Structure 1
Amino acid sequence: MENHIVELQYALDTFYFLVMGALVMWMAAGFAMLESGLVRAKNTTEILTKNIALYSIACIMYMICGYHIMYGGGWFLNGISDFDMASIISANAENGFDGSAVYSAASDFFFQVVFVATAMSVVSGAVAERMKLWAFLLFAVVMTAFIYPMEGAWTWGGASVFGMYTLGDLGFSDFAGSGIVHMAGASAALAGVLLLGARKGKYGPNGEVHAIPGSNLPLAALGTLILWLGWFGFNGGSVLKLSDAANAHSVAMVFLNTNAAAACGSVAAMIVARILFGKADLTMLLNGALAGLVVITAEPSTPSPVMASIFGAIGGVVVVFSILTIDKLKIDDPVGAISVHGVCGFLGLMVVPITNGDSSFSGQLIGAATIFVWVFVVSLVVWGIIKAVMGIRVTEEEEYEGMDIIDCGMEAYPEFVKS
């Protein structure tokens, strides 16, 4: 009887991992649509190229070495090892079936690899419209093969940070990656943006901030809704188990809280925009929804729906002021990625102890600092090396003409261009 239970659990939890992973993979489409909608038409083909290429690079590099660094898993050359079903059944039968997680290692790898791509996608939007395509892709190789897996090993992997301390022992908790994925991506993006500089015409000589509208807000809205949908897999899959009543209920609560936080984040951002600008700003509404999602990602399982709603609303308010502040600092982020994923990723980490007694504010702060310092400093070094070797920014003339023609030799909307 125990053998049949283990086999059924293996099947259910493996299938659950695969479906949740597929939802997270669909977030790649969300990032592509959101970013292509928020950049100018002349840069659309290039941003789409970056998003599909970075996803592919992330999958390859994590399979070659990233998964091994982060979890000590299989290497590409040896294949991703799977569980030996006979050994699993035998071990559970001997020790008494206790309901512990049993699923295919291949499904675990698939679920993990789409998270790597998400972290790298954050970088794409922040450096849009003026970075060389091949410089970006070279950084993607290093980010997904080494930078992200190292901080992942210290957090989800349970390894000690340079042999000095273990974040879990300090009370650090990040359920689905507000810091490990989102803040890490934003930290790498910030390093790149600081070396890259602002787009031509973004800031005036006296500190004026000039808005550069996106070319396709319907696409941006579609991208946000796709990300919202994919986030159910991002957070729901991080429960790691579905095949018993308690965990099935936990998955349902995570879905509920994730949705509530996004909804309240979007409404809060829209209200703040109305107060500040006198208008309902669609881009702030979209970023408010994403901010709510990022905040709740650090701990979607322990808050009540009311608390999740409050956390999401706070994120929606914070992201508006963060975007305005970063612009005043002349840090040019075309899609607001640093605010959404970085600032709100940090906020998500810091609200975890409010509902999760196993974490501590000091542990969260040390964990956030570890992630930021590691990713930012190493990314700054890597961006600096790439800048010295091949350059990271296109010329002023190329920027004016548009990245589509310069990097890809084709335009996304050729019918709107005069011959």
Structure 2
Amino acid sequence: MQSQIFEMQYALNTFYFLVCGALVMWMAAGFAMLEAGLVRAKNTTEILTKNVGLFAIACSMYLLCGYYFMYDGSLLLSGIAGGESLVPDALSQAAENGFNGDAVYSQASDFFFQVVFVATCMSIVSGAVAERMKLWVFFAFAVVMTGFIYPIEGAWTWGGKAVPLIGELNFSDFAGSGIVHMAGATAALTGVLLLGPRRGKYTASGAARAIPGANLPLATLGTFILWLGWFGFNGGSVLKLADVSSANSVAMVFLNTNAAAAGGAIAALITARLIFGRADLTMLLNGVLAGLVAITAEPLTPTPLLATVFGMVAGVLVVFSILALDKLKLDDPVGAISVHGVCGLLGLMLVPITNSDATFGGQLLGAVVIFVWVFVTSIIVWGILKAVVGLRISEAEEYEGADLSECGQEAYPEFTR
């Protein structure tokens, strides 16, 4: 009887992990649609190519080496020299893990859930450097980011190889406000710093010019896809479902995730109305995402009302952050640095309000470690790429659009000619 109970828990938890992983994978479509809607029509094909390509690169690099760096899992492909099976040992042994040890789900499902987080982190970079970066330079950076940079900072936090002081101060990041979102935003920031703004974005006096996206219905669809996918992102991070306590935790995480998104949307909408005198759809969409990012660090312990308040704080903050970055001439076409970076940091610092195991000092130190590691390594990689092949497409190519110069085809040929 006990064995049957364990088997049922193992099966349900594994299935839940896989479903949540599939929801997070669906966020790749959300990022693709959001970014395609917020760039100009002449850059649509290129941004879609980036999003599909980076997902494939992330999955492959994490399998080859990223998971090994992060968890010491033996996921390096074995047997290439000796002719043995290409199935990694860590995956082939998963069936026995659920009954006599700590694991209550297949390790293969754990890998799948982890790998889609890596792709999410890299997707954040894509929108921030849109409309002027060379496609293959971006892919080259994605190889290093997903295979090395992200896994190392993940090893220090989720991987159990904590920097000693972080461990002593109880750094906590439930589903990745800092580990995933702030890390991706930091890599994006370094790229934007070395890349420079889009031509025509700022006047000679430094004032920002609005460059409207080509398809706001598509951007709205992308936001709703991300909102849906986030239930898997945060809900799956409970790590199991098949007992009463875990089921209750999953339900609360879903509830708080949705509440924070709604709060972020409302606050951003009102803030934009007060500043601009009108509703601003792009700020509304970013408010949704800001609330989601902020609650990701701790979606379990707040009450639903407090989760809504946390989302509202993020919704206000993201509007002012986007405006501030424009004043600094940091050109981020989709607001990714503000949404995922600034609000990711906010999420980390909100954790101790409801989670007594975390400390503000530990949260701040963890954020600093993540930021410094990703910033330094990313700027080195971007710097090497800039020196060797250059980061930007030419001025003429930027004028005609990256679709033609990088991909040779337009997304909307009947409308752009």
TM-score normalised according to structure 2 size: 0.96
Distance (Å, rounded) in 2 between the aligned partners of 1:63 and 1:85: 19
Distance (Å, rounded) in 2 between the aligned partners of 1:412 and 1:40: 11
Distance (Å, rounded) in 1 between the aligned partners of 2:284 and 2:415: 28
Alignment partner, residue 117 of structure 1: 119
Q: How does 1:298-337 map to 2 (within 5 A)?
A: 298-337=297-336
Alignment partner, residue 350 of structure 1: 349
Distance (Å, rounded) in 2 between the aligned partners of 1:85 and 1:37: 43
Distance (Å, rounded) in 1 between the aligned partners of 2:94 and 2:47: 42
Distance (Å, rounded) in 1 between the aligned partners of 2:363 and 2:97: 38
The gaps in structure 1 that reach 5 residues or longer are: 93-99
- CA shift, 1:262, in A, is 0.2
Paired letter, 1:244: D
Paired letter, 1:303: P
Alignment partner, residue 144 of structure 1: 146
Q: Does 1:197 align with 2:196?
A: yes
Alignment partner, residue 9 of structure 2: 9
Distance (Å, rounded) in 2 between the aligned partners of 1:222 and 1:318: 23
3-state DSSP class of the match of 2:279?
Answer: coil
Check conservation: 2:42, 2:416, Cα contact below 8 A. no
Change (3 A) 1:166 1:56: farther
Change (3 A) 1:87 1:323: closer
Report the aligned-residue RMSD: 1.1
Check conservation: 2:98, 2:105, Cα contact below 8 A. no
Alignment partner, residue 103 of structure 1: 105
Distance (Å, rounded) in 2 between the aligned partners of 1:88 and 1:247: 16
Check conservation: 1:154, 1:166, Cα contact below 8 A. no
Check conservation: 2:98, 2:106, Cα contact below 8 A. no
Check conservation: 1:158, 1:166, Cα contact below 8 A. no
Distance (Å, rounded) in 2 between the aligned partners of 1:84 and 1:315: 40
Alignment partner, residue 58 of structure 1: 58
Which stretches of structure 1, 4 residues or longer, exceed 6 Å deviation after superposition?
Answer: none
- CA shift, 1:140, in A, is 0.1
Check conservation: 1:159, 1:166, Cα contact below 8 A. no
Distance (Å, rounded) in 2 between the aligned partners of 1:295 and 1:153: 22
Alignment partner, residue 46 of structure 2: 46
Deviations 1:342-382 (A, max 9, x none): 00000000000000000000000000000000001110000
Alignment partner, residue 83 of structure 2: none
- CA shift, 1:307, in A, is 0.7
Check conservation: 1:101, 1:241, Cα contact below 8 A. no
- CA shift, 1:169, in A, is 2.5
Paired letter, 2:112: F
Paired letter, 2:115: V
Change (3 A) 1:225 1:170: same
Q: Once structures 1 and 2 are overlaid, which stretch shifts more, 253-262 or 78-87?
A: 78-87
Distance (Å, rounded) in 2 between the aligned partners of 1:344 and 1:133: 28
3-state DSSP class of the match of 2:161?
Answer: coil
Distance (Å, rounded) in 2 between the aligned partners of 1:213 and 1:381: 32
Distance (Å, rounded) in 2 between the aligned partners of 1:159 and 1:342: 23
Paired letter, 2:248: H
Identical-pair percentage:
71
Check conservation: 2:266, 2:315, Cα contact below 8 A. yes
Check conservation: 2:37, 2:219, Cα contact below 8 A. yes
Q: Does 1:296 align with 2:289?
A: no
Check conservation: 2:97, 2:104, Cα contact below 8 A. no
Paired letter, 1:63: L
Paired letter, 1:156: W
Q: Does 1:19 align with 2:19?
A: yes
- CA shift, 1:75, in A, is 2.0
- CA shift, 1:167, in A, is 2.2
- CA shift, 1:84, in A, is 5.2
Residue in structure 1 matching 2:137, options 135, 138, 153: 135
Alignment partner, residue 84 of structure 2: none
Change (3 A) 1:156 1:172: same
Alignment partner, residue 174 of structure 1: 173
Check conservation: 2:68, 2:76, Cα contact below 8 A. no
Aligned length: 407
Alignment partner, residue 160 of structure 1: 162
Deviations 1:195-243 (A, max 9, x none): 0000000001111110000000000000000000000000000000101
Alignment partner, residue 67 of structure 2: 67
Check conservation: 2:260, 2:312, Cα contact below 8 A. yes
Paired letter, 1:300: P
Distance (Å, rounded) in 2 between the aligned partners of 1:87 and 1:70: 19
Paired letter, 2:298: E
The gaps in structure 2 that reach 5 residues or longer are: 79-86
Deviations 1:164-207 (A, max 9, x none): x2523321000000000000000000000000000000001111
